[in-house]
Amino acid sequence: MRFVRLILIFIASFTAFAAVAATPAADPLQVLRGAVDEVLGIVYSGKTQTQSFSVLVRPVLEKNFSFDLITRRAVGPGWRQFTPAQQAKTTALFTELVIHTYADRFEVGAQPGITYAAPVELSRNKRELPTTIDYAGKKYSVAYRMELVADQWRVCDVIIEGVSMISNYRAQFDPMFQRGGAAEIMRSLEEKITQVSTAK
């Protein structure tokens, strides 16, 4: 499941990587497929033996994932009470946590099989792209929510086996915000980043 989450949550899910930069408002399915292929290319290039996977894919993810939108939605209504400086810092911390949590725990294994279903139109600027991941003899359902952001399709949420990444983090952030507002969320993110970094 660790491998699947990585490929999905960082790459495809949330990775239009080089493909996204191609043509404005390109077909979201083409963007997703191109992104996944690019990340898988990095995974099996052999470079991860000498360099951290998170370092290799970070530029691609930051360029093509809407981490600012993901962070705002994960925090929820309380986001409006954050100062601009707190919003910027929280987004940077959350991006760091997500990348390191999955990428630095990644273990290369057999290459997964990925089946893409037809995109589902949620609205004019939103699509859900269902996929099935076949890995190590098991199949996983992963759907990518993509939105047009500045004329580019970008991943804004990943739903693994029916569980939304944004909803999962929202459940963690809500009680934190109730306890101590933005400061408590940032403190918790910093603490988790330290834990992930020392666990590598």
Query: Model confidence over 4-19: pLDDT tens digits?
Result: 444 444 443 343 333 3
Q: Give residue 185's pLDDT band: very low, low, confident or very high (50, 70, 90).
A: very high
Mean pLDDT over 109-131 rounds to 90
Q: Give residue 58's pLDDT band: very low, low, confident or very high (50, 70, 90).
A: confident
How many angstroms separate the CA atoms of 15 and 9, rounded? 8
- State which H helix or E strand residue 15 sits in: none
Question: 72-111: buried (b, 16+ CB within 10 Å) or exposed (e) per residue?
Answer: bbbbeeebeebeeebbebbbebbbbbbbbbbbbbbeeeee
Give 2-198's CATH code, choosing from 3.60.70.12, 3.30.70.890, 3.10.450.710, 3.40.50.10680: 3.10.450.710
More confident residue, 116 or 106: 116
Q: Give residue 165's pLDDT band: very low, low, confident or very high (50, 70, 90).
A: very high
pLDDT at position 157 is 94
Q: How far is CA 94 from CA 86, 162, 188, in A?
A: 12, 22, 10
* 67 exposure class (CB count in 10 Å sphere: 0-12, 13-18, 19+): buried
Looking at the whole model, is its pTM more than 0.85?
no
How many angstroms separate the CA atoms of 89 and 81, rounded? 14
How big is the chain, counted in residues? 200
Judge whether residue 118 has pLDDT over 70: yes
Q: β-pairing, 138-149 with 120-123?
A: unpaired
Q: Domain residues of the chain, as ranges?
A: 2-198
Alpha-carbon Rg for the chain, nearest whole angstrom, is 16
pLDDT at position 95 is 94
- Residue 126's SS3 state is strand
pLDDT at position 65 is 83
Of 186, 140, 179, 150, residue with least CA distance to 4: 140
